Structure 1
Amino acid sequence: MAKRTVIIAGATGMVGKEILAGLLADDTVAEVHSLGRRPPTVQHPKLRTHIVNFSSLPVLPQADDVYLALGTTIKVAGSQQAFRALDYDANLAVARAAQAAGVKKLGLVSAMGADANSSVFYNRVKGELENALEKMAFEGMVFARPSLLVGERAVLGQPERRGEKLGLAISKLIGFLIPANYRPIAATAVAKALLSQVPQAQGKTILLSGAMH
């Protein structure tokens, strides 16, 4: 079987970092092209790093799969406009550039509650992105919709989120009472789910936390 070439955007984030590690360890992957505003902290013979401006992406190398893991919060971004510029505009720009490069399979780190008709701005933007991607002619798409994400944010230079710590504490106490789709989920579990599903994807697949645990 011919080895795959893969593109990833957001490899310095919590889920993106785990996706990148999985791709670099995968013997079926020949090259990984990382797109970001800063380079990943890892080095590897397979890794090709591209420091980019997402509003004016260069022509991307021909590839098989693309993983979209760009994301932030409104608090970190500073405004709803800045949040949308990354979570919607940048992800969509990478998808379009990847499609032009011949990519057939796409994996997206979305969010539980993604809904273009939501009254919650965060969920609405996530849903609008999913809808925009659905209109593109990818052979297979996998949208991961994790609940509360947990992982080591400090190592990534990200601020700790009190909501995550509280959610994790509650889950440890009464997790057996919480439906699987609503329990906190590790970034590694989300990454593994996408890595296993994207290469074989046909049509659209939505992965909720219960299926990714």
Structure 2
Amino acid sequence: MTDQRHIAIAGASGLVGHSILLNALDDPSIGEVHVLCRHPVKVSHPKLLEHQVDFQLIPPLPAINEVYLAIGTTMHQAGSRAAFRAVDLAINLAVAQAAIAAGAQRIGLVSAMAANPKSPFFYNRVKGELEAALTDLSPQGLVIARPSMLLGDREALGQLVRLSETLTKYVSQAIKPLIPQNYRPIEAPKVAQALLNHVPTADRTIILRSGEMQTA
């Protein structure tokens, strides 16, 4: 492997994952960007290498330094608790395990603001369980981003626009000074950049709360 970093991204079709992809392609310190996807990401670049995979059976990955995990769904899209857990926990964990087997020493994760493995709320509990499972893999560095509600152009990515995000965006703009920084909606590119800023040199577990990422 050269002095340039080689990274892998899972979830590059989502709001944060797509921003990670675009920023990584522009980063001269990164030599290769491996994207694990079910469908083409519709981006062309000399550094981009797409791997269309079945996430239920991930093949051996090329040598990489870092992996960024941005795969996620909603309870509505998943349809059941089991299906949600299979995506948000099992797939992300499987990608991380494959990345470590390929030499990755650092992991960047898009989690949730209230992630907690002991949470009474299923969504937050699954997010917390994933954080704990990744910690158990003992990477050299693990950077966990816990954003509040994400803002971004889902329509441009071919995703359904979420009414809750649209409403929150306009309401929060009106009362922004009254909302604690960690609870303000955050633009997806800021979360992506915060991960890209911290993962390359992480030597421990770092948790990035939403307020910290607002200035990324």
User: TM-score scaled to structure 1, two decimals?
Assistant: 0.98
Aligned to 1:97: 98
Matched letter for residue 82 of structure 2: Q
Aligned to 1:148: 149
Aligned to 2:16: 15
Aligned to 2:32: 31
Matched letter for residue 53 of structure 2: V
How far apart are residue 81 of structure 1 and its match?
1.5
Aligned to 2:43: 42
Inter-partner Cα distance in structure 1 for 2:38 and 2:118: 31
Higher mean C-alpha displacement, 78-87 vs 89-98: 78-87
Inter-partner Cα distance in structure 2 for 1:112 and 1:137: 22
Q: Is the 8 A contact 1:12 1:41 kept in 2?
A: no
How far apart are residue 37 of structure 1 and its match?
1.0
Matched letter for residue 4 of structure 1: R
Q: Secondary structure at the match of 2:95?
A: helix
Q: How does 1:82-93 map to 2 (within 5 A)?
A: 82-93=83-94
Aligned to 1:2: 3
| Structure 2 segments unaligned to the other structure (5+ residues) | none
2:192 aligned with 1:194, yes or no? no
Inter-partner Cα distance in structure 1 for 2:173 and 2:45: 36
Inter-partner Cα distance in structure 2 for 1:39 and 1:212: 29
Matched letter for residue 44 of structure 1: H
Aligned to 2:69: 68
Q: Is the 8 A contact 1:171 1:183 kept in 2?
A: yes
RMSD: 0.9
How far apart are residue 172 of structure 1 and its match?
0.5
Structure 1 stretches of 4+ moved >4 Å: none
Matched letter for residue 135 of structure 1: D
How far apart are residue 114 of structure 1 and its match?
0.3
Post-superposition Cα deviations, 1:34-78, rounded to whole Å, max 9, x if no partner, equal 001112110111010001111110001111010001011011122
How far apart are residue 137 of structure 1 and its match?
2.0
Higher mean C-alpha displacement, 17-26 vs 1-10: 1-10
**% of aligned pairs identical?**
53
Aligned to 1:136: 137
Inter-partner Cα distance in structure 1 for 2:89 and 2:8: 18
How far apart are residue 169 of structure 1 and its match?
1.3
Aligned to 2:172: 171
How far apart are residue 161 of structure 1 and its match?
1.2
User: TM-score scaled to structure 2, two decimals?
Assistant: 0.97
| Structure 1 segments unaligned to the other structure (5+ residues) | none
Matched letter for residue 189 of structure 1: K
Q: Is the 8 A contact 1:72 1:87 kept in 2?
A: yes
Aligned residues: 213
Q: Secondary structure at the match of 1:11?
A: coil
Matched letter for residue 199 of structure 2: V
